[in-house]
Amino acid sequence: MNRIALFLPLALFAVLTVVLLLGLDKDPAELPSALVGEPFPIFSLPSLHDANQMLAEQDILGDVVLVNVWATWCFACRIEHAMLNQLAEQGVKVIGLNYKDNREAAIDWLRKRGDPYAFSIFDERGGLGIDLGVYGAPETYLLDATGTIRHRRVGVVDDRVWNSEFRDLYAQLVSNKR
């Protein structure tokens, strides 16, 4: 009994070491999404800029788009925002999903930093975010022209991420639409 008690800490250390080593090659931003390959969720939510204008999933159909989940309380969204402005200037259609935020603060935030969004959906309570499986902002979804989710990125989209994860798939989806 005494020998088992002596080897127990060593055995626990060995198991913990193996588990941690197996996790080293995992990308923490690469979270699985059951929605990749599925249609964008059905929703009916107000526009960020006009509380009386309702938006729905039909409003995102017809073009290849990025749907970007963002909020004013999200520090990483500030880092990502310049890239979104650049993509919009290059002709990429970006739709905003303002997540669990304050409407006035969000409108002011876009006025000061530029508004890359063709339109922004105001998800004050986070219901659409829950349907998408949002972990937090920022998250970006690439949708084809039929509204099917083709790629999901949790975290900041910058030049490196755009070029390695989005650019080629985006170009392929745009050319398939023609």
All structural domains of the chain with their residue ranges: 29-177
Distance between CA atoms of residues 149 and 38, nearest Å: 6
| pTM score, whole prediction | 0.81
Q: How many helices (H) and strands (E) does the chain have?
A: 6, 7
Locate 77 and state its tokens: 């969204």
The architecture of the domain spanning 29-177 is 3-Layer(aba) Sandwich (3.40)
What is the pLDDT tens value at each position of the chain, 178 positions in all? 666 666 666 666 666 665 555 655 555 545 455 689 999 999 999 999 999 999 999 999 999 999 999 999 999 999 999 999 999 999 999 999 999 999 999 999 999 999 999 999 999 999 999 999 998 899 999 999 999 999 999 999 999 999 999 999 999 999 987 6
